[in-house]
């Protein structure tokens, strides 16, 4: 979105959701890559015959049916043109011509669909992307982790607490698309109406993002736009402060220079494109927004540009992989430290049988310490299959790093947090592993917010274990705040440019 002509075009979604999908059928690969039994034909609901992890249990079948009917009748949030455009940009990233920045909340909240929250998230992502563009001299593809990030996997389907001396067990909180966080039966019972409400809130979010971008919000060359004042009062070493100040100065000079060159050059900076993503977890909702479009083959998930499969739902024979293998969108897949190279190769083969460029994005999240030892062999093995033009080949993949999800920790006081240093360490280890394997880190995935929250510890912002309580606002995982996000962008840009 953002590209004016694309944003003005609209898909006319066909009501025929049962049309068969070319190139979606294949065979379930075995560990060796050899095909096993042929897969049944893909349809938007073929996932229902597979074991589905982390799916909500809706108690009222009639209400569920009616909510899904309503969701399926609502207009989509994105178009197939935008989705294909992102795929083309991701293909460029696979060739090393672009770098991807993906970020946003762990879980969006239906109640916090406010102009301030949306604008500040967009602003920090735009600023980080500009720091990266400037540092690595490579165009950055921006993908928000928002406008639909409302469903969360949970380690247990139920949660037990002691209430008034009695032990009470209720369904876990699965995100605002499914149920509500308050520990009460009426909040925790999965409510199908929330799928419709979440779609509407995602539409409001996206509408505001599109308007801001169209109105020139992304015009980043004004110095007042940059709030770097926190660097001056942060407890930084003189070297690091000097490095930041020098980068900020050259960035400002570069922008002024481009401005001096005339409208056209500045215009290129102003006209940014922005894409959305969310974890495709609740397959009932994802199916309802899966549509065919006129004049393009296949099915698109038209609620987001790039849905991703989470670490907990990437089982080869599971419902999520079955659903994702049939949609035409680019697909993200989280890859944790327990994954083997063979498993990843099988996954890619299943998800991208046509070996389409720009289609598969592998997001590693090994954890600081683990990425150093375990990642390089996996990268090398998958790289071998990606480069193989023969029958065992899997086509190109894009490697990204999510340094958040394997670096969670709980303080002695019981607060969930993440350390800035561990996040940075995983990024360094991951870049080292790519160097060793002959592959390239093509993007990063962060949980962040543009607000001044105190959820992660460390970095120049100076949040410590003792100050986590000051503004801890996340209903889910701890996010990097504005200062931590920007500092990380500076450090990452420096490292990728060979200065870190």
Minimum CB–partner distance for residue 475 and Co ion (Å): 11
Which among 59-67, 117-125, 306-314, 325-333 is the span making contact with ligand PEP, rule CB under 6 A?
A: 306-314
Instruction: Report the chain's C-alpha Rg in angstroms.
Output: 22
Binding partner of residue 311 among ligand PEP, Co ion, none, CB cut-off 5 to 8 Å per kind: ligand PEP
**By the 8 A CB rule, do 375 and 357 touch?**
no
Check binding of 310 to ligand PEP (CB under 6 A).
yes
Query: Which positions from 254 through 283 interact with ligand PEP, judged by CB under 6 A?
Result: 279
Give the one residue of 106, 170, 401, 468 binding ligand PEP; rule: CB under 6 A.
106
Q: Which residues of 158-197 are buried (b: 16+ CB within 10 A; e: fewer)?
A: eeeeeeeeeeeebbbbbbbbbbbeeeeeeebbbbbebbbb
Minimum CB–partner distance for residue 246 and ligand PEP (Å): 34
Q: What is the DSSP letter of 49?
A: G
Which among 17-25, 224-232, 305-313, 407-415 is the span making contact with ligand PEP, rule CB under 6 A?
A: 305-313
Check binding of 298 to ligand PEP (CB under 6 A).
no
Give the one residue of 365, 418, 434, 479 binding ligand PEP; rule: CB under 6 A.
365
Give the one residue of 84, 346, 477, 487 binding Co ion; rule: CB under 5 A.
477
Q: What CA–CA distances, in Å, run from 59 to 49, 56, 171, 189, 192?
A: 20, 9, 12, 8, 9
Output 322 or 447, the one with its CB closest to Co ion.
Answer: 447
Distance CA 153, CA 174 (A): 6
* Helix axes of 482-496 and 420-437: crossing angle, nearest 10 degrees: 20
Query: Which positions from 118 through 157 interact with ligand PEP, judged by CB under 6 A?
Result: 153
Q: Is 489 exposed, middle or buried (0-12, 13-18, 19+ CB in 10 A)?
A: buried
Check binding of 426 to ligand PEP (CB under 6 A).
no
Check binding of 405 to ligand PEP (CB under 6 A).
yes
SS3 (DSSP) at 142: strand
Strand locations in 346-423 (E):
360-365, 398-401, 408-410, 416-418
Give the one residue of 87, 334, 418, 479 binding ligand PEP; rule: CB under 6 A.
334
Query: Which positions from 69 through 128 interact with Co ion, judged by CB under 5 A?
Result: 106
Check binding of 480 to Co ion (CB under 5 A).
no
**By the 8 A CB rule, do 402 and 334 touch?**
yes
| Residue ranges binding Co ion (CB under 5 A) | 106, 477
């Amino acid at each position: 979105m953002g590209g004016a002509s694309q944003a003005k075009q609209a898909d006319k979604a066909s009501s025929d959701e049962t049309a068969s999908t070319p190139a979606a059928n294949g065979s379930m690969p075995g560990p060796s890559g050899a095909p096993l039994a042929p897969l049944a034909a893909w349809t938007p609901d073929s996932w229902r015959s597979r074991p589905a992890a982390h799916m909500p249990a809706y108690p009222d079948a009639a209400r569920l049916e009616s909510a899904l009917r309503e969701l399926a009748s609502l207009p989509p949030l994105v178009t197939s043109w935008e989705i294909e455009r992102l795929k083309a940009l991701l293909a460029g990233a696979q060739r090393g011509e672009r770098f991807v920045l993906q970020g946003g909340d762990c879980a969006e909240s239906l109640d916090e669909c406010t102009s301030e929250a949306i604008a500040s998230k967009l602003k920090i992502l735009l600023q980080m992307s500009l720091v990266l563009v400037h540092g690595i001299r490579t165009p950055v593809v921006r993908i928000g982790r928002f406008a639909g990030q409302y469903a969360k996997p949970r380690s247990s389907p139920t949660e037990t607490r002691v209430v008034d001396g009695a032990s009470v067990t209720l369904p876990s909180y699965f995100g605002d698309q499914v149920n509500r966080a308050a520990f009460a039966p009426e909040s925790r019972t999965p409510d199908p109406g929330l799928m419709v409400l979440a779609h509407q809130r995602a539409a409001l979010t996206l509408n505001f993002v599109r308007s801001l971008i169209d109105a020139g919000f992304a015009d980043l060359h004004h110095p007042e736009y940059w709030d770097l004042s926190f660097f001056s009062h942060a407890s930084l070493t003189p070297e690091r402060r000097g490095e930041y100040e020098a980068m900020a100065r050259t960035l400002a000079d570069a922008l002024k220079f481009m401005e001096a060159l005339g409208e056209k050059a500045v215009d290129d900076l102003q006209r940014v494109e922005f894409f959305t993503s969310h974890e495709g977890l609740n397959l009932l909702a994802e199916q309802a927004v899966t549509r065919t479009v006129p004049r393009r083959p296949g099915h698109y998930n038209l609620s987001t540009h790039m849905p991703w499969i989470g670490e907990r739902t990437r089982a080869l024979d599971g419902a999520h992989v079955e659903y994702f293998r049939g949609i035409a969108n680019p697909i993200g897949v989280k890859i944790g430290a327990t994954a083997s190279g063979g498993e990843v190769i099988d996954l890619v083969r299943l998800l991208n049988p046509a070996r389409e460029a720009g289609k598969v994005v592998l997001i590693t999240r090994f954890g600081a310490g683990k990425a150093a030892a375990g990642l390089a062999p996996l990268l090398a093995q998958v790289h071998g299959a990606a480069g193989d033009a023969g029958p065992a080949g899997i086509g190109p993949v894009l490697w990204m790093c999510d340094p958040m999800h394997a670096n969670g920790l709980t303080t002695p006081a019981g607060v969930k947090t993440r350390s800035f240093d561990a996040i940075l360490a995983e990024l360094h280890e991951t870049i080292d592993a790519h160097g060793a394997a002959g592959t390239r880190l093509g993007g990063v995935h962060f949980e962040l917010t543009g607000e001044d929250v105190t959820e992660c510890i460390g970095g120049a912002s100076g949040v410590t274990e003792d100050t986590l309580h000051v503004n801890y606002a996340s209903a889910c995982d701890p996010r990097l705040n504005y200062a931590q996000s920007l500092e990380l962008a500076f450090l990452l840009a420096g490292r990728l440019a060979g200065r870190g």
